Amino acid sequence: MISAHLDNFTVVLHRPKYPGNIGATARCLKNMGMGKLIVSEAGPFAPAEMKIMSTHFAADIVDRIGYHDRLGDALAPFQYIVGATSRLGAARGPVLSPREIAPSLAELSRRNTVALLFGAEDTGLSNSDLRYCHAVVAIPVSEQLRSINLSHAVMILCYEIFLAQAEARKVFTPKLASSREIEGMYEQLKEVLMEIGFLNPQNPDYWLMHIRRMLSRTGLFSRDVKIIRGICRQIRWAVGNKKP
C-alpha cells in the first residue's frame, strides 16, 4: 500500500476570529499526522492563547503558523486547493463530501501540495474566496444544526484523508500548476476575452467563474497554463493586426 504524503497538506484558515479555534485546529492536525497551518487575513494571535487549546502536544504547529495579509498570497504556492463550505447553491458549483474527495486528495498529495481552505467561524467562505478552489467540499450534517465548529470541520476532512492514505493507488500522479501560475493565466484570459467582447464588461468575474469551473475539473499542468497564455497572446496579436 502507498501512503499519501501528509507533509504536502496545509490547512489554511481564512479570517478566523478566535485563537482557541486555531489552537484546537493545530491539535487536530497533529492527531492526523499533518503539521502545516496558515492563517490568512487575520492575526497574528497570541501564541499563549492558542496553546491553551493546542496543548503542548501541538505547540510546535502553533509556533510555525504562517500569516498572510491576502488570501491569494497564502494560496499561491499550492497546486490543488479545496474549499470547505456549509452553504450550498448553484453559484458554488458541484460539492463533494469529505469521504468522496479524500481518495483523490490522498493520491494527488504524492506529487502536489494541497491546501485545505476553511473560512471564518460565522461567515465561512465567500463566492470570491471559492474562486481559488479546484474543488468544494461540504460535510453532511443533520438539519437540526448545520453549523460545525471550525476545528471539528478540519478534523473530519483530515480524518477522511488519513484513512484514504492507506488505499492510495500506485499510479503516476502528475504535478499540477500552482495557484500563482493559474491566477496569472486567468488575469490574462480575462483581459483578452474582454477585449474581444466575449465577457460582459459589467460583470466579467461572474462569467469567468464558469470558465474557471470548466478548466478546474481536470486540473491544469504548468504546460497547460503556458499553452493557454500563448493562445491569449496570439489572439491579442491577431486582434491588434486587424485594427485599422
Residues 57 and 107 in one domain: yes
Cβ burial of 44 (10 Å; 0-12, 13-18, 19+) is: exposed
Number of domains in the chain: 2
Distance CA 128, CA 116 (A): 16
Position 1 confidence tier, pLDDT thresholds 50, 70, 90? very low
pLDDT of residue 174: 65
**Which CATH number does the domain housing residue 27 bear?**
3.40.1280.10
For the chain, how are helix, strand and coil distributed in percent, rounded to 5?
A: 50, 15, 35
CA-nearest of 89, 86, 209 to 148 is: 86
Backbone CA torsion sign across 180, 184, 185, 186: positive
pLDDT for residue 4 is more than 60: no
Residues 106 and 19 in one domain: yes
Tens-place pLDDT, residues 95-135: 899 999 999 999 889 889 999 999 999 899 998 899 899 99
| DSSP 8-state code for residue 240 | H
Grid coordinates given for 236 = 491579442
Distance CA 22, CA 14 (A): 11
Q: How many CB atoms lie within 10 A of CB 179?
A: 23
Cell 468575474 sits on residue: 205
Grid coordinates given for 197 = 467582447
Predicted TM-score (pTM) of the model is 0.73
| DSSP 8-state code for residue 94 | -
Alpha helices in 95-221 (DSSP H): 98-108, 127-130, 150-164, 179-195, 204-216
Mean pLDDT across the chain: 87
**Which CATH number does the domain housing residue 199 bear?**
1.10.8
- H or E stretch including 137? strand 135-137
In a domain, 173, yes or no: no
Position 172 confidence tier, pLDDT thresholds 50, 70, 90? low
In a domain, 146, yes or no: yes
In a domain, 100, yes or no: yes
pLDDT for residue 3 is more than 50: no
Q: Determine the structural domain holding residue 237 and report its residue range.
A: 179-242
Distance CA 210, CA 228 (A): 16
In a domain, 174, yes or no: no
